[in-house]
A and B are shown apart, each in its own frame.
Chain A
Amino acid sequence: DVKVTQSSRYLVKRTGEKVFLECVQDMDHENMFWYRQDPGLGLRLIYFSYDVKMKEKGDIPEGYSVSREKKERFSLILESASTNQTSMYLCASSPGQDSNQPQHFGDGTRLSIL
């Protein structure tokens, strides 16, 4: 079965820390995505990647960066964490360039910045 694994379910960090969120998929998917989910705002796309070492900004990239050194792994980096980055973070993957393919999601990381 398809699997997207996020390294942490819950994470607590302090303001100013550099934070790494890791995501691994076992489906050999080309595309990987990072979203944040906030009440009333739905899912907002932070960054996505369509190939190894390729990355594109989504709708809200400010304060974030990403890394994709291997096809199966996509990391989200908060360069200097701030309290307004407290949120649920969801990783997703999808195959190829077909727009009729659904995304597969991890269980999310609930991040709290104190």
Chain B
Amino acid sequence: AQSVTQLGSHVSVSEGALVLLRCNYSSSVPPYLFWYVQYPNQGLQLLLKYTSAATLVKGINGFEAEFKKSETSFHLTKPSAHMSDAAEYFCAVSEKGSYIPTFGRGTSLIVHP
């Protein structure tokens, strides 16, 4: 069965610093990969997705993620954190042929002024 690991349940950065949120998956066949963001008291919304086109994917709000097959990783980055980026971030993976994703446990991003 597919598994998704998000390293670090909490990541703390200063405003203006680089954001790096890690995601590793277990599939031997490159799957479809997604990052979602959840702001307080809201549902999840899509940040970006990888569907086997370019390995560097750009999303909303200045976020991007790079698919690295050799490392089975799909880490999320943003060059400069903003206070409004404070939220919970989820990585999700769908195997080809399945429309039911597997979610990681989430990483809470804390941004300090």
Contacts and interface: CB of A to CB of B under 8 A. Distances in A.
B106 A103 contact: no
Contact of A42 (B43, B97, B98, B106): B106
B101 A103 contact: yes
Contact of A99 (B41, B45, B97, B105): B97
- Of B34, B43, B95, B98, chain A has the most CB atoms within 10 Å of the CB of B43
A99 B43 contact: no
A45 B9 CA distance: 20
Nearest to A4: B43
Interface string B87-112: 00010001111111101111000000
B42 interface: yes
Interface in A1-54: 4, 9, 31, 33, 40-43, 45, 48, 50
Contact of B99 (A9, A40, A96): A96
A18 to B, nearest CB: 25
B66 to A, nearest CB: 18
A31 B90 contact: no
A105 interface: yes
B104 A99 contact: no
A100 B94 contact: yes
Interface string A80-114: 00000000001010101111111111111000000
B27 to A, nearest CB: 11
A101 B42 contact: no
B45 A40 contact: no
Interface of A: 4, 9, 31, 33, 40-43, 45, 48, 50, 90, 92, 94, 96-108
